[in-house]
């Protein structure tokens, strides 16, 4: 699956009619209509338990605030990576935990506005 992540995400989205978020280096968002988004943010320190839960919460929150699901997924993935990059710049990648990302969300949003 890791060998061709773009194809995997695209085929899965089209086959099942869903928006796919395939986490990993350069997280991929794929849509049923064939659109693909490759995220430039984030780092390897985010490969730890609970970070996917933080991402899911961010995406769900954006949907709850009125964004279309694909926009929520793309924004959530991008902002999630920004949070990870901000934490890593201070704390380093090796000690990063999911709670660090959650605590960084308001500051990351503010930095983009």
Give the pLDDT confidence of 6-55 residue by residue, as tens digits. Answer: 999 999 999 999 999 999 989 999 999 999 999 999 999 999 999 999 99
Question: What's the CATH fold of domain 2-112?
Answer: 3.40.1190
Give the pLDDT confidence of 11-22 residue by residue, as tens digits. Answer: 999 999 999 999
Tell me how far apart the alpha carbons of residues 33 and 8 are, in angstroms, rounded to a whole number. Answer: 14
The predicted model scores a pTM of 0.93
Within 8 A by CB and 6+ apart from 94, the residues are 45
Query: Token pair for residue 70?
Result: 């694909």
């Amino acid at each position: 699956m890791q060998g061709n992540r773009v194809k995997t995400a695209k085929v899965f989205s089209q086959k099942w009619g869903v928006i796919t978020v395939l986490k990993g280096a350069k997280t991929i968002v794929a849509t049923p209509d064939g659109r693909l988004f490759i995220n430039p943010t984030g780092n390897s320190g985010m490969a730890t338990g609970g970070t996917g839960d933080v991402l899911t919460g961010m995406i769900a929150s954006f949907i709850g605030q009125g964004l279309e699901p694909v926009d929520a997924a793309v924004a959530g993935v991008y902002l999630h990576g920004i949070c990870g990059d901000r934490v890593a710049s201070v704390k380093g990648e090796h000690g990063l935990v999911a709670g660090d990302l959650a605590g960084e969300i308001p500051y990351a949003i503010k930095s983009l506005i």
